[in-house]
Amino acid sequence: MSDAVMTDTAQRQALAEELDSFNCRVAQPTDGPLFTREPQSAMKPAHWKASDLERLLEKIGAKLKLEAGGQRRTLRLANRGLPFGTTPTFWASIQYILPGEIATAHRHTASALRFIMKGRGADTIVDGERYEMNEGDLVLTPAWTWHDHEHKGDEPMIWLDVLDISLVRSMHATFFEGSDKPRQAVSDIPDRSYRQFGSGIMRPLNDASVPELNPLLVYGAERAQEALRLAAELPPDPYDDTALEYLNPVTGGSALPTIGTVLQSLRPGMHTKPHRHTGSVVYYVMRGNGATIVDGTTFEWGPGDFMAIPPWAVHEHINRSDDTPAMLFQVNDIPALKKLGLYREQAA
Ligand code: GTQ
Ligand code: FE2
């Protein structure tokens, strides 16, 4: 066949082998499109019920040794549409620690947070500072900070872990280092970062530097929930009702550079307007009963449930109670999208 009569398809196929030997290629008819008009996420909307999670956590507590799974015993919230992780950028897991157990010291380039779900008596040490972890507290382990946990209480304890592992993996920037000591040495002043920056409205006078990492490592439940109660007296946002983001007190930006953390309340009877945005979201229901509709699927939720919303999925929230506010903790990857100029939102 002469060059002139070969179809473009045949030309492309004929060139493929030669180009390949020089590490080059041209688009082939069998390739998918390079771009889609708008995001088409493989992630599926998902719902985990508290009663199922409780049963499964008890089971892994009874059957799995802490030491065998990388010094952490966790139940990972998986997504059927993704090869790994809860969303395209982060992993949400529930960590289950028994009395007397130590989750030994290590550090990694993935940023992490813990949000305490249930129990008391465990503490964590982050770069030498020790914190008692109590229900509703948010504790950060920013990228490359040393951290270890020890449970000194007498009932099993659970908390939510979120790490931006998929994002860090996609950039081939994973580092990990274990420690030869199970626990870190503790600095003599407990809660130092909380004493300095924890009010959220003031900061130390003689420390005007802007550190690369958030200097505040713990956000106590009481102050966060008081801020939410005050904000809930204001008129509602049409899509989120009342939602407050945990801040880096020095920069005014998100608490972690890549992960957004939000405390949200839905007033009695609230039914928000539907919208969509880039970025993925995981919700943990702290109290209340309601529903979240994601791309036409309705998830009826109660205390202890988790929901996941894929990028660009239309969603709306309902509080089913006519006298009690609902409270949710939200994790998202919106700070990462905003930093890359990729954040968009749209009313549905
Ligand atoms: O507690 O340090 O769920 O390193 C996954 C990886 C928790 C932790 C996880 C971790 C941790
Ligand atoms: Fe870790």
CATH number, position 216 = 2.60.120.10
Distance CA 244, CA 261 (A): 9
Element counts in the chain: helices (H) and strands (E): 6, 22
Number of domains in the chain: 1
Instruction: Judge whether 132 lies within some domain.
Output: yes
For 173-212, how does the pLDDT look when each residue is reduced to its tens digit (9 = 90+)?
999 999 999 999 998 788 888 999 999 888 888 776 777 8
pLDDT at 106 exceeding the cut of 80: yes
Give the residue carrying structure tokens 């608490």: 255
Distance CA 248, CA 175 (A): 24
For 294-334, how does the pLDDT look when each residue is reduced to its tens digit (9 = 90+)?
999 999 999 999 999 999 999 999 999 999 999 999 999 99
For residues 254 and 333, is the Cβ–Cβ distance under 8 A? Answer: no
- What was the pLDDT predicted at 307? 98
Range of the domain at 298: 46-347
Q: Enter the tokens of residue 47.
A: 């719902």
Instruction: Judge whether 202 lies within some domain.
Output: yes
pLDDT at 280 exceeding the cut of 70: yes
Which atom of ligand 1 is nearest the CA belonging to 141?
2
Average pLDDT, the chain: 95
Does 73 sit in the ligand 1 pocket, CB within 6 Å?
no
Phi, psi of 328 (to 5 degrees): -130, 145
Instruction: Judge whether 55 lies within some domain.
Output: yes
Instruction: Judge whether 154 lies within some domain.
Output: yes
Q: How far is the CA of 72 from the centre of ligand 1 (A)?
A: 6
pLDDT at 4 exceeding the cut of 80: no
CA distances 333 to 87, 88, 171, 273, 288, Å, are 9, 9, 15, 22, 25
- In the predicted model, what is the mean pLDDT of residues 279-291? 98
For 136-150, how does the pLDDT look when each residue is reduced to its tens digit (9 = 90+)?
999 999 999 999 999
Instruction: Judge whether 20 lies within some domain.
Output: no
For residues 214 and 140, is the Cβ–Cβ distance under 8 A? Answer: yes
Distance CA 339, CA 323 (A): 39
Instruction: Judge whether 308 lies within some domain.
Output: yes
Q: How far is the CA of 131 from the centre of ligand 1 (A)?
A: 16
- In the predicted model, what is the mean pLDDT of residues 55-80? 95
- In the predicted model, what is the mean pLDDT of residues 56-71? 93
Q: How far is the CA of 147 from the centre of ligand 1 (A)?
A: 9
Residue 165 pLDDT class (50, 70, 90 cuts)? very high
pTM: 0.95
Distance CA 259, CA 213 (A): 13
For residues 288 and 327, is the Cβ–Cβ distance under 8 A? Answer: yes
Instruction: Judge whether 33 lies within some domain.
Output: no
